Structure 1
Amino acid sequence: MSIENKKVLFFFPHNPYPAKSGAHKRCLEMLAGLKELGCEVTLMSSTLSSETPWELSSIEVLKSQWCNDVLIYEPTRLDYKLISLFARYYRFTKQTPPISSLLNTPLGMRSWFLKKFELIKPEIIVMNYAYWDKLFHNKKINSVRKIIDIYDLVSLNSSMQGTVSKYITIPVTNKTEIEDKVLQENFFDPLYMEASSEEFDIFDNYDYTISISSKETEIIKSKTSKTHVVYIPVKQPTCQLNNQYSEGAILTIGPNMFNIQGYLYFIKKVLPLILERDSTFLLQVTGGYCKNIYAPEGVDLSGFVPDLKEFYETSRFAICPVLGGTGQQIKIVEAMAHGLPVIATRFSGERSPIIHNENGFIANNSREFAEYSLQLWQDQNLCKKLGENARNSISQGFSRESLLKDLSLLLN
């Protein structure tokens, strides 16, 4: 059966435009791929869960560039009452809610989704995140191909972020005391945390499970028995900028505790070592979560920037000091695609296209991170050499063409 004109229902719980996180960028990337293959894509979402408010301007841009239609569910008063009732129940009984529960998919939302499904009659439905799986629990929906695209193992991700939150509360100020333990490179190692069996059972409800991390692909394969697990990492079109490698390094802060932990690791463990040897060093930090952190000497907070091309064009390099999490660090792929070398911790670097000393650096500890930062800060030619290699690496292995090929195989 031809891919062209296939009807696809694509559920994403947030407004992805303008993209403010790696998940938003992945959503737009998948929508663009489906549209380019000729699919008729309907994006479905809800105001109940969206991190960014849904506005008419966002819907219009999405319909003009990424999909054929956008349908948004507005929760009813009854939905909110039921959500409140169940939330109080779980708090009173001290139980952890199921991953996919009425808290995320109230009855009104499930009914709305089924009606739209019957009206559109799609051949394929795509879910993002296991939290909203209950939308797909209906015999009528079981008749079509079901795909879940996972950015994270959400049960593991939630547990890890919860652990970090015990040590770090936001907003973080220069007077906030941070226990050194949470800023150690091996902070998560002795905790032996795993995703829940419930989450793997959810994946088995789908014909295909897409993972963006090779490591998690193998984990899911070993824990499931019905779903076909497919590895499709984040793809990123390369951008031929006039890279100048003249201004500060860049770090993009996404809306989660791993980014806060990584930022604190850098400013407390790495930055002092850099400034001891070169007081001119500057880190430019972008992202909406800048409101939750402070800027010591050597750091400039720029907040959310809709288009980072200007920063990428002038920055010397990018950093990713993340110490834990699940999925893939999309910020690494994006920076490399724009011609920047990236310095990453061992944790985030091993999940990325970084080849040490060829298109970036992978640091085992704070001293190595500082050393690599100084090398790039003081040598524009090295920035250019590694940056061009970084862009070539993305062009060869993470291009839009490879995404279209992967999606074609999946849809057929």
Structure 2
Amino acid sequence: MTKKILFFFPENPFSNRAGNTTRAKTTLTVLKKMGYHIDLVGAAEIYKSQNDTTDIDQNIVDHLFLIKHRPLKAKTSSAYWKHKISKFYKKPNEYNHLLTDFAKQEFSDIFNKEKYDAIIINYEFWAGLVDHESMKNTLKIIDTHDWITLNEFYKNKSLDIGKRFNEEINNLSKFHKVITISEDENLVFKRFLGEKVINIPPSFPSHFEKSDGDKKYDLIFVGSENIFNIQSIQWFFDHVYSLLPPNINIVIIGRICKHIQEKKGVTLIEFAESLEEYYHQSKIAICPMLEGTGIKIKVIEALSYGLPIVGTERAIDGFPSKTSNGCLVNDHPEIFKDQIMSLLLDQSYYQDMKIQAEEYFKNNFSEEKAIEKWKKILH
């Protein structure tokens, strides 16, 4: 009998919007290839705020459910008054205002209508969805995506780190298995939660090209409009771009384009249904990240196309190995520029780095590696 998974991810993982949605989609793809039936649950308020459609890939997901954080404003409804009254005596969740008792009940109602063999929750701040007694004996897995305390500290330097990290560990301890995607974060969480912590890095199918041929773009950068990407691309244009020759061609893809002015040699594409053609048309991927936590999905995706990476030291956060990984990293603008130029001008060196990128990807981030690890958790 085919097993069923209830998979919670707040946004639409098929939106092709950012690294986090790509990560969720690749996980769903892996689970489907393992033969599971999957029901997907999202947060209605987040779908609305992100202008997400309810379009899903029905070859991967069987059903989509959206949970609300409060009942409809029908004043004759008992659910409405129960929610209204609870607001007077119960504080809202400090770290996730959408995680209300009403949202938890909606999630448990979905769970209780079907027989699920496992629940997978994405993000620590949604952990409370599994608090219901009916889920006690079901395999519960959380995919952390990020070390949330550190991520929030980057955004708010006055954060009470001790209090937030205590909350994070308590939330993760509710689960039978805790998935990290970064080797660095795996080591941190293992110290507190032991062997239930398993590192499963992002995975993609490989798209290596046998022949390089002529490329339309010298550099490619893919990014959503989160604060870390905005800081990164501003640093690149403020400190590196002017050092490059004027004939360099750069393509930038994603909502990050809203924060970039038109410049010579720079093509801005706010949305692309598929990145494949752009990666195949590019020579080098750049990742000039200054802050941010966790492994960078954009770097793994570029490696899956055999592209060498030029980045800052943050670009290889979470990598099992900091060397021989297809990436050249340095935080100094002049050296960053030199690394780009050395790859563009020395074809032999470029080929060596390309082979290195492909080998590192195959050994660490292939779908086959991810399937092996998921089998150990689910079987």
Q: TM-score, normalised by structure 1?
A: 0.81
Unaligned runs of 5+ in 2: 74-78
Task: Tell me the distance in 2 between the aligned counterparts of 1:136 and 1:44.
Answer: 13
CA contact (8 A) 1:99 1:199 kept: no
Shift of 1:273: 2.3
Find the aligned partners of 1:192 and 1:244 in 2 and give their Cα distance: 53
Name the CA shift for 1:219/1:353 in 2 (closer, same or farther; >3 Å): closer
Paired residue for 1:147? 141
The answer to whether the aligner puts 1:156 opposite 2:123 as a matched pair is no
SS in 2 for 1:386: helix
C-alpha offsets along residues 308-363 of structure 1, whole Å, 9 cap, x if unaligned?
Answer: 11111111100000011111101001101112100111122243477657623111
The separation in 2 between residues aligned to 1:204 and 1:192, in whole angstroms, is 20
Matched, 1:289 2:287: no
Contact conserved, 1:148 with 1:203, CA < 8 A, in 2? yes
The 5-angstrom pairing of residues 360-399 of structure 1 reads 360-399=327-366
The answer as to 2:175 corresponding to 1:206 is yes
TM-score (norm 2): 0.87
Give, in whole Å, the separation in 1 of the partners of 2:204 and 2:328.
20
Does structure 2 retain, via aligned residues, the 8 Å contact 1:7–1:41? yes
Pairing partner for 1:248 from 218, 227, 232: 218
Q: Distance in 1 between matches of 2:224 and 2:53?
A: 21
Alpha-carbon RMSD across the aligned residues, in angstroms, is 2.9
Q: How does 1:53-132 map to 2 (within 5 A)?
A: 53-56=51-54, 58-59=55-56, 62-64=57-59, 66-74=60-68, 76-78=71-73, 97-100=93-96, 103-132=97-126
Counterpart of 1:179 in structure 2 is none
Point out the more displaced range, 371-380 or 27-36.
371-380
d(CA) in 2 for partners of 1:97, 1:373: 46
Aligned with residue 351 of structure 1, among 305, 309, 318: 318
Gaps of 5+ in 1: 91-95, 167-190
Cα distance 1:132–1:63, how it changes in 2: closer, same or farther (>3 A)? same
Same amino acid, percent of matched pairs: 25
Larger deviation: 227-236 or 319-328?
227-236
Residue 233 of structure 1 corresponds to 201
* 1:263 paired residue number: 233
Letter in 2 for 1:319: I
> Against the structure 1 CA distance between its residues 106 and 245, is the aligned structure 2 distance closer, same or farther, given a 3 Å change threshold?
farther
Contact residue 150 and residue 209 of structure 1 kept, 8 A: yes
Which range moved further: 342-351 or 236-245? 236-245
Distance (Å, rounded) in 2 between the aligned partners of 1:348 and 1:161: 18
Q: 1:394, CA displacement in angstroms?
A: 1.1
1:44-55 superposed matches below 5 A: 44-50=41-47, 52-55=50-53
- Do the aligned residues in 2 keep the contact of 1:344 with 1:362 (CA within 8 Å)? yes
Corresponding residue pairs, total: 366
Matched residues in 2 for 1:54 and 1:324: separation? 27
- 1:6 corresponds in structure 2 to 3
Residue type of the partner of 1:238?
S
Kindly provide the CA deviation profile for residues 7-44 of structure 1, in whole angstroms up to 9, marking residues without a partner as x. Answer: 21110000111321111111111111111111121111
- Closer, same or farther in 2 for the Cα pair 1:243/1:76, shift >3 Å? farther
Deviations 1:171-213 (A, max 9, x none): xxxxxxxxxxxxxxxxxxxx99776211111001111110001
Structure 2 letter corresponding to 1:260:
I
Q: Which amino acid aligns with 2:338?
A: E
Aligned twin of 1:172:
none
